[in-house]
Amino acid sequence: MDRRDLLTGKYGQGKLDLKNSKDSLYAYAKLLGSANNAMVHYSLEGTIFAYLPNGAQKLIGFQAILKGVWEKIDQDSYSYKLFESGFFHHLDSKNYIETFENPITNKKNQLSNIKGGPYKTVIKPRQLDWVISGDDVWIQEPKTRIGYFGVSKPNNQDKETSFANTIFRGKISDLNDESSIAPSMMTYNYISPWYPFFEMDDVDGKMYWQAVGIKIQSWSDVPKSMKNFLKAKQKNYFESTNPWSEPTSTLKHYRENNKQK
Amino acid sequence: MTVKKQMNRREIIGGMGAIAASPFVSGQEFNVIDRDINLSDPIQNALAYAKLIGTSARSMVHIYYHGTIFGMTPDEGVKPMIGLTGVLKGVWKPWVDNGFYYTLYDCGYFMDLKTGAPVEEFENPFTGEINRPVKIIGGPFDRVIKPDLRPFKSRGDDLWLEEPAYLNFVNKLDPKIWKKASTGEKLSFLYVETYHGKVSDLANPELDSIPMTITSTHNTSWYPFFLMGQRPGGHYWQSVGKKVENLEVDVPAVLIDYIENESPGYFESERPWKKRTGTFQAYKNQRQPIKE
């Protein structure tokens, strides 16, 4: 990009053409993770709202570190493995908690940690729906999940629907530079039935998870409260490319721990 | 103080061209940024809010947005329904007691999910019926920003603020009369707007208004034009966007043309229209109840 392009805002006229599926794949990998073999992390911070028939209210806070282990398979494909590790916290503090006085039920909840992955994905060139405005670019990943959200997986219970939408934002000028990893901001929204550890089966409503985070460069960028949590509960999570091998999720992790009690 | 009633097109196109580079500020997990700005001070916090979302000067800002509405029902899950795009206008001025006052307008259109073109009708994926959306138009909505402790969050030079709003109010559309358009006697909304900017920009005293990107998510009762009646569920409205720095670079030409045609002078005027309106009011004004 030359000075004239900067002055006239012609950010899209670098080497990348996001309408081209190969360029688009490269940009996607570079924005979300890495266009080369690398491990990237996002540090997320958010709030869960209880969305009740008579209105919404903040319920609890949460933090998570998302880990993506990216591999470039060839010119036309990448693979990545995702992990997540995190915790819940009170709305007025960032320290991790294991029990929670639920303000809606007035019961004491025994919480689970946030734990998920490895989720493995291979991506190939495809048409992606980028939103572009000047030098800013966004891509969203809406995903519907259908499953059981109860304490266990009963045979006679209907499956329920949840919906997650993740939005990544970056700069076209960053995607056009020589590096293989671009700065990225992530907004995560998740609408779900009540998770079982909140013990709200009798309450009409749903959960709305909202979080924001950025791709971080190193351990020094990890918030202190998250460092404390990882040191206590998930040692070597940040350094390892494979912190655990058995696929899990927050729900599965909770159920397994619950079974052992 | 010079009060400027109108901006010309060139000023809007020029936008915030005077953005200067500032030293990188490092920090993490604090609500206070101990460098030129102190967000634990309610007055500086309000100033930071104004600079990020709008402007601390007597001026206007425009925010471009682009998104999708997804419908959710317990039986049929989640389906994308329609796209949307528009430009918010905020007319800002400093206010008494270290506050700020702004008036917000909204103008845009619902769009085809594949082509992005404005649509006058579309097929509702849940009902199979043809729906006719109203135009996106809103405001004037007035708001005062008082000194307060808003929970800004930061990582390195990135800073963001999540602003939730919970609204429950009486539906202007009586469900006994508007059987297909009204979801009930009350409407329930959960809005979360996330504004993102740079600490270094915020700390720059020479900037009244700093670059900002926005992510909006709205969990709401069904819009009336979806004609979902009291069917369980609702919609999830998400959009991304940014404070416009250069109108012709940041906003698609088709949207600029649409707005200038629908509301001539929208970009230049501080008061593009006088009477307050919104999606539900516009529907009530423009449509008739549908008989079963």
pLDDT band, residue A147 (cuts 50/70/90): confident
pLDDT attached to residue B167: 86
- CA dist A95 and A88 (Å) reads 8
Residue A231: CB partners within 8 Å, gap ≥ 6?
A: none
Please list every residue in chain A whose beta carbon sits closer than 8 Å to the beta carbon of residue B238. Answer: 140, 165, 167, 189
- C-alpha to C-alpha distances, A258 to A96, A252, A261, B238, nearest whole angstrom: 19, 10, 5, 36
- Give which of B46, B62, B176 is closest to B108, Cα–Cα: B62
Pairing of strands B234-243, B59-73: antiparallel
Mean pLDDT for A185-200 is: 96
Is the interface score ipTM higher than 0.95?
no
Task: Supply the Cα-derived Rg of chain B in whole angstroms.
Answer: 20
Give the model's pLDDT for residue A159.
83
What digits encode the pLDDT tens for the residues B102-161? 999 999 999 999 999 999 999 999 999 999 999 999 999 999 999 999 999 988 899 999
Torsion, Cα of B75, B76, B77, B79 (10° steps): -150
Using CA coordinates, name the residue in chain A closest to B114.
Answer: A129
Name every chain A residue with its beta carbon within 8 A of the beta carbon of B192.
Answer: 49, 189, 208, 210
> What is d(CA B15, CA B27) in angstroms, rounded to the nearest whole number?
30
pLDDT on residue A164 = 96
Nearest in space to A14 (alpha carbons), one of A184, A183, A177, A133: A177
The residues, ordered by sequence, that sit 6+ positions from B59 with a Cβ below 8 Å of its Cβ are: B4, B7, B92, B208, B209
Residue A139 in contact with residue A104, Cβ under 8 Å?
Answer: no
Shortest Cα–Cα distance, A261 to chain B (Å): 33
Chain B segment 110-169 residues within 8 A of A by beta carbon are 153, 155-156, 158, 160, 162, 164, 166, 168
pLDDT category at A15 given cuts 50, 70, 90 is confident
Distance CA B102, CA B92 (A): 4
Element (H, E) at A170: strand A160-171
For chain B, report the end-to-end CA distance as a whole number of angstroms.
58
Closest CA relative to residue B12, chosen from B63, B56, B51: B63
Residue indicated by tokens 């599926």: A21
CB contact under 8 A, A140 and B68: yes
What one-letter code names the amino acid at B179? Answer: K
Best of B192, B195, B246 to substitute, by most chain A Cβ atoms within 10 angstroms, is B192
Q: Which of A161-175, B9-23, B224-238 has the lowest mean pLDDT?
A: B9-23
pLDDT at B16 over 60: no
Phi-psi region of A217 (alpha: psi -120 to 50; beta: other; left: phi over 0): alpha
Chain B contacts of A55, Cβ < 8 Å? 166, 168, 188
Quote the pLDDT of residue B31: 39
Q: Is residue A55 less than 8 Å (CB to CB) from chain B? A: yes
pLDDT at B25 over 90: no
Interface touch B164/A210, C-beta < 8 Å: yes
Beta bridge partners of B165: B191
Please indicate whether, in this complex, the C-beta atoms of A144 and B28 are within 8 angstroms of each other. Answer: no
Name the nearest CA neighbour of A94 among A185, A229, A219, A232. A229
3-class secondary-structure state, position A230: helix
**Residues of chain B with C-beta less than 8 angstroms from the C-beta of A191:** 72, 219, 236
Cβ <8 Å between A161 and B251: no
In terms of Cα–Cα distance, which of B87, B46, B70 is closest to B222? Answer: B70
- Position B156 scores a pLDDT of 87
Interface membership of A218 toward B (CB under 8 Å): no
| Interface residue B13 vs chain A (CB under 8 A) | no
Q: Which residues contact A106 (CB under 8 A, 6 or more apart)?
A: none
Q: Return d(Cα B52, Cα B198) in angstroms, integer.
A: 9
Alpha carbon distance A30, B269 (integer Å) = 41
Q: Residue for token digits 């749903």?
A: A206
Q: Which tokens go with A177?
A: 């530079």
Q: Does A154 touch chain B (CB under 8 A)?
A: no
Residue A187, chain B, CB below 8 Å: the answer is: yes
Give me the count of residues in chain B: 292
Specify the pTM: 0.90
Nearest to residue B57, comparing CAs of B136, B121, B2, B123?
A: B2
Question: What is the band of A55 on the pLDDT scale with cuts at 50, 70, 90?
Answer: confident
Q: How far is CA B140 from the centre of its chain?
A: 12
Structure tokens at A216: 């971080």
User: Pick from A49, A133, A225: which is nearest to B190 by CB?
Assistant: A49
3-state SS track over B156-220: CCEEEEEEEEEEEEECCCCCCCCCCCCCCCEEEEEEEEEEEEEHHHHCCCCCCCCCCEEEEEEEE
